Amino acid sequence: MAFGKPDLGSIVPKGTEFDPALVNKMMGKFGHGGFLDMEYVGHGADWVELAIDWREDLVADPDTGILASAVIISLMDNATSMSIWTKLGEFRPQVTMDLRIDYLRPSPSGERVYGRGICYHLTNSIGFVRGFAHNGNPDEPLAHASGTFIRIGDRIS
Amino acid sequence: MTDSPIALPPYAQALDMTIVDEIDGAPVIGMPFADRVQGRPGYLHGGAISGLLEIAAIAAVHRALQAKGSDSAIKQVNVTVDFMRGGLSQMTYAVGEVTRLGRTMANVEARAWQDDRDKPIAMGHMHYLIKAKREDAT
């Protein structure tokens, strides 16, 4: 549930072009996004890239310093969620229906992790997303993600 | 290996997760609501729910390995999380069930709920690779 009810409405007035950098200032700096301190990196027509810095308290295995897999899930959840609004050009309330992550390799200790979320198809109700995480070189992904988001609020209350 | 208490990893401690109970030999992990696990206002973030599922799944696999007398380490291959209900601003629980434990991999299903275990807020399906003994890694 990356973000649902239109509390973003206050910072994303209707009819305004969706700005992922601006929205990340809310999603990435408060709540769980704030705990992880997600940073906006860049975006295109249908994608958004965010990043999280390695931190000791995000580690799953203290022997290796490998990040908890859920850190990657949160990163991909936010990045893919925002890719839908970016492709759509505006905010619409939605929640994550499902999300799958394949871990190709661990994210090494101390390394910043980037997550690129891509919205590859959009219907009236569903946003179909995929994405990948990497440590700075998109050609060397550490995880792949795919999932779906369902629109809520103005359809189903 | 004895039935030593499982020390939760730093990530779990940072989100205030604790072992609160046990179901069918698997630890039940509890996570209180707080700003650091919040997504949209008043609701849990999907990533935090996934984190709780992950910790419960890992704890269940470790417990199952211990029961077999194994001290193998594990490595997560993938996870699919279904989000069924919005997580409200209250205590959340999760438990993992090892549906198959082989020599090379483990299949796990983890369930997260709040008031009623029969009304899960999310379910996770995970695959773990069973790695060589810990002493080989050091």
Query: In this predicted model, what pLDDT tens digit does every residue of B81-111 receive, in sequence order?
Result: 999 999 999 999 999 999 999 999 999 999 9
Cross-strand bridge partners of residue A15 = none
ipTM, interface predicted TM-score of the complex = 0.90
**Within a domain: A26:** yes
Strands (DSSP E) along chain A, which ranges? Answer: 39-43, 47-52, 59-61, 66-67, 94-103, 113-122, 126-134, 141-151
Cβ contact A31–B45 (<8 Å) = yes
**Within a domain: B5:** no
Could you list the residue range(s) of the whole structural domain that residue A47 is in?
Answer: 15-151
B129, closest residue in chain A (CA to CA)? A103
What is the model's pLDDT at position B11?
A: 95
Lowest mean pLDDT among A14-23, A37-46, A112-121: A14-23
Mean pLDDT score, A58-73? 92
B114 pLDDT above the threshold of 60: yes
Q: What is d(CA B50, CA A99) in angstroms, rounded to the nearest whole number?
A: 10
Could you list the residue range(s) of the whole structural domain that residue B44 is in?
Answer: 10-137
Q: What is d(CA A5, CA A57) in angstroms, rounded to the nearest whole number?
A: 30
Q: CB of B65 within 8 A of CB of B72? A: yes
Model confidence at B134, pLDDT cuts 50, 70, 90, reads low
What is the model's pLDDT at position A4?
A: 43
Give the CATH number for residue B28: 3.10.129.10
Using CB atoms, pick whichever of B11, B13, B86 lies closest to residue A1.
B86
Strand B105-113 to strand B92-101: parallel, antiparallel, or no bridges (unpaired)? antiparallel
Asked if A15 has any chain B CB less than 8 Å from its own CB, the reply is no
**Within a domain: A7:** no
**Within a domain: A75:** yes
DSSP H helical ranges for chain B? 10-14, 46-67, 134-137
What is the model's pLDDT at position B23?
A: 95
- Counting the structural domains of chain B, the total is 1
Measured in degrees and rounded to the nearest 5, phi and psi for residue A123 equal: -115, -175
Q: What is d(CA B111, CA B54) in angstroms, rounded to the nearest whole number?
A: 10
Cross-strand bridge partners of residue B130 = B74
B74 pLDDT above the threshold of 60: yes
C-alpha closest to that of A74 among A145, A148, A154? A145
Specify the DSSP class assigned to residue B38: B
B11-52 confidence digits (pLDDT tens): 999 999 999 999 999 999 999 999 999 998 899 999 999 999
- Counting the structural domains of chain A, the total is 1
**Within a domain: B4:** no
**Within a domain: B1:** no
Distance from CA of B30 to the nearest CA of A (A): 16
How many CA atoms does the CB half-sphere of A64 hold within 13 Å?
14
Q: CB of B37 within 8 A of CB of B48? A: yes
**Within a domain: A99:** yes
Q: CB of A101 within 8 A of CB of A72? A: yes
Give the CATH number for residue A100: 3.10.129.10
**Within a domain: A127:** yes
What is the model's pLDDT at position B2?
A: 42
**Within a domain: A8:** no
Mean pLDDT score, A10-16? 58
